[in-house]
Structures are given as C-alpha cells and as structure tokens.
Amino acid sequence: MIYTQEQLRRREASPWTRVQIILAPIQFVIFLISFALVIRYLATGDGYWAATVSVWIKIALIWALTITGMLWEHDMFDHYFLAKEFFWEDIGNLIAIITHNLYFVVQWLGMDQRTVMWVMVFAYVTYLFNAAQFVIRGIRSAQQRRAINTP
C-alpha cells in the first residue's frame, strides 16, 4: 500500500495535489520542446537563444514543481522535504534540480555555449529518471485508489 487511508484523505484535500497534476504535464511538454531545441542547437549550431529561453522556462517550472511539491508533501506527511514515505522521490528531485541549476554555474564560469547545452542534456536525463519515479508512484497510487473504491 502506497498511502494510508488518512494520507489518501489528505491527498484529496490538499490544493497542492491539483497544482501538481496541472504543472507536471506542462513541465513535461516544455521539457520535450526544450530538449528538442537543445539537441537542434548541438546538431546544427543554430537556435541558441531559442534553446536558452526554453531552458530558463524549464528551470522555472522545475522550481515551481519543487516548491509546490514541498507544500504538498507537508500536507501529506507533515514534512516539507525528505519524508520517509517520499524519500527517494525527493532525492531524485534534488539531483534533478541541482543538475538543472548547473546551467547557472557554467554560465557564471564563462563556459562556451556548447558546453552549457551539454550540461542541460545531462540535467534533462536526470529529469527523465526523476519523472519516471513520479509516473510509477502515480500509477501505483491510482491502482490503490481503484482497489479501495471497487466493491
């Protein structure tokens, strides 16, 4: 069982559940667009600014999901981060957000545009692993809710 009955009640009552349900697919679509723009730049040398703007949007969205996710986690488990029930998802998110923010580090260090975009390819791979964790948890949660609601 993924959630206790009380946690399921809390999940349904939390406004952050709906925010996460809305923001997560938006972030995924932006990821797909940004990844394509980054790869296009790396393959052709064209479109650096389009790729850069998409990276900024993706980073803003991962922060928005992280912050609202922490508020959701508090509603669910009374911890803002690293609740034992959500430990590995939080670790995955921490890795993804750190790698996304390496963008600013390599920019500050004055690295060339190709290196910056390769850093984002790496960040996006960590995002895919993290997103997979949440999809698996979501599937298990939906299965649990269906099992509870089936007579």
Please report the DSSP string for 2-37 in residue order.
Answer: -S-HHHHHHHHH-HHHHHHHHHHHHHHHHHHHHHHH
Q: What pLDDT does residue 51 have?
A: 97
The whole model's pTM is what?
A: 0.86
pLDDT, average across residues 41-66: 97
pLDDT band at 71 (very low <50, low <70, confident <90, very high): very high
Distances (CA, A) of 142 to 1, 38, 48, 139, 147: 11, 34, 40, 5, 9
Residue type, 148: I
What's the rounded Cα separation, in Å, for the pair 69 and 128? Answer: 17
pLDDT band at 151 (very low <50, low <70, confident <90, very high): low
Given a contact cutoff of 8 angstroms between Cβ atoms, the answer to whether 99 and 129 are in contact is: no
pLDDT, average across residues 36-62: 97
What the block records as the tokens of 89 is: 């998802």
What the block records as the tokens of 31 is: 């990821």
